[in-house]
Chains A and B, each alone.
Chain A
Amino acid sequence: MAYSSRVTSRYAKSVLELAEETKVLDPVKDDMAGIVNLCESNVDVVLFLNSPIIAHETKEKILSTIFSGKVNELTSKFITLLTKKGREGALFEIAKNFLELYNIKKGVQKATVYTAVKLDSKLKASFEDLVAKSMNKKVDLKEEVKEDLLGGFVLRIEDQQIDSSVKSKLQDIKKSLN
Chain B
Amino acid sequence: MLDVRPDEVSAILREQLSNFKSEAELEEVGTVLQIGDGVARIYGLSGVQAGELIEFENGVEAMALNLEEDNVGAVLLGDSAGITEGATVKRTKRIASVKVGEGIVGRVVNMLGQPIDGKGPIEGETFEMPIERKAPGVLFRQPVNEPLQTGIKAIDAMIPIGRGQRELIIGDRQTGKSAIAIDAIINQKEFYDKGEPVFCVYVAVGQKASTVAGIVQALEKGGAMPYTVVVSAAASDPTPMQFYAPFTGAAVGEYFRDTGRPALVVYDDLSKQAVAYREVSLLLRRPPGREAYPGDVFYLHSRLLERACKVNANQDIAKEMNDLPDSLKDKVKGGGSLTALPIIETQGGDVSAYIPTNVISITDGQIFLESNLFNSGIRPAINVGLSVSRVGGNAQIKSMKKVAGTLKLDQAQFRELEAFAKFGSDLDDTTRLTIERGQKNVEILKQPQYSPVAVEEQVAIVYISTNGLLDDVPVDKVREFETTLIDTLKASHKSTLEALGAGKLTEEATTVLRQVAKDLSAKYLA
The chain A residues found within 8 Å of chain B, CB to CB, are 4-6, 156, 158-164, 169, 171-173, 175-177
Contact = CB atoms under 8 A, between A and B. Distances in A.
Given A158-B44, A176-B19, A177-B16, 18 more contacts: A4-B69, A6-B69, A156-B29, A159-B29, A159-B45, A159-B47, A160-B26, A160-B27, A160-B28, A160-B29, A162-B26, A162-B27, A163-B24, A169-B22, A171-B59, A173-B17, A173-B20, A176-B16
A163 B19 CA distance: 19
Contacts of A177: 13, 16
B20 A176 contact: yes
Contact of A162 (B13, B22, B25, B69): B25
A130 B88 CA distance: 23
16 contacts: A4-B69, A5-B69, A159-B28, A159-B44, A160-B26, A160-B27, A160-B28, A160-B29, A161-B26, A161-B27, A161-B28, A161-B88, A169-B22, A172-B20, A175-B59, A176-B16
A158 B25 CA distance: 15
Contacts of B416: none
Nearest to B46: A159
Contacts of A169: 22
A171 B59 CA distance: 9
A161 B90 CA distance: 9
B70 interface: yes
A4 B71 CA distance: 11
B113 interface: no
A158 B44 CA distance: 8
B29 A161 contact: yes
Contacts of B16: 176-177
B30 interface: yes
A175 B30 CA distance: 22
Query: Which size class do B's interface residues fall under?
Result: 20 to 34
Interface string B185-197: 0000000000000
Interface of B: 13, 16-17, 19-20, 22, 24-30, 44-47, 59, 69-70, 88
A159 B45 CA distance: 6
A164 B24 contact: yes
Nearest to B45: A159
B70 A4 contact: yes
Contacts of A161: 26-29, 88
Task: Name the residue in A158, A159, A173, A177 with the highest tally of chain B Cβ atoms < 10 Å from its Cβ.
Answer: A159
A5 B17 contact: no
A158 B27 CA distance: 11
User: Most B CB atoms within 10 A — which of A161, A162, A169, A177?
Assistant: A161
A15 to B, nearest CB: 20
A152 to B, nearest CB: 8
A42 to B, nearest CB: 19
Contacts of B28: 159-161
Given A5-B69, A5-B70, A159 B17 contact: no
A149 B230 CA distance: 41
Contacts of B24: 162-164
Nearest to A158: B44
Nearest to B48: A159
Nearest to B71: A5
A172 B69 CA distance: 32
A5 B46 CA distance: 15
Contacts of B69: 4-6
A163 B27 contact: yes
Nearest to B44: A159
A176 B19 CA distance: 9
A163 B88 CA distance: 11
Contacts of B45: 159
User: Which 3 residue pairs of A and B lie closest in terms of their CB atoms, listed nearest first?
Assistant: A159-B44, A164-B24, A5-B70
Contacts of A5: 69-70
B126 to A, nearest CB: 17
Nearest to A172: B20
A135 B140 CA distance: 48
Nearest to B47: A159
Nearest to B34: A2
Nearest to B24: A164
A162 B13 CA distance: 26
Contacts of B44: 158-159
Contacts of A164: 24
Contacts of A172: 20
A159 B22 contact: no
Nearest to A165: B24
A163 to B, nearest CB: 6
Contacts of B25: 162
A165 to B, nearest CB: 9
Contacts of B70: 4-5
Contacts of A162: 24-27
Contacts of A163: 24, 27
A22 B19 CA distance: 61
Contacts of B17: 173
Contacts of B59: 171, 175
Nearest to B88: A161
A163 B46 CA distance: 18
Contacts of B13: 177
A5 B22 CA distance: 38
A161 B28 CA distance: 6
A176 B12 CA distance: 13
A171 B27 CA distance: 16
A2 to B, nearest CB: 8
Contacts of A156: 29
Contacts of B26: 160-162
Contacts of B30: 159
A172 B28 CA distance: 17
Nearest to B31: A159
Nearest to B33: A2
A163 B55 CA distance: 14
B88 to A, nearest CB: 8
A57 to B, nearest CB: 32
Contacts of B46: 159
B285 to A, nearest CB: 13
A36 B24 CA distance: 33
Contacts of A176: 16, 19-20
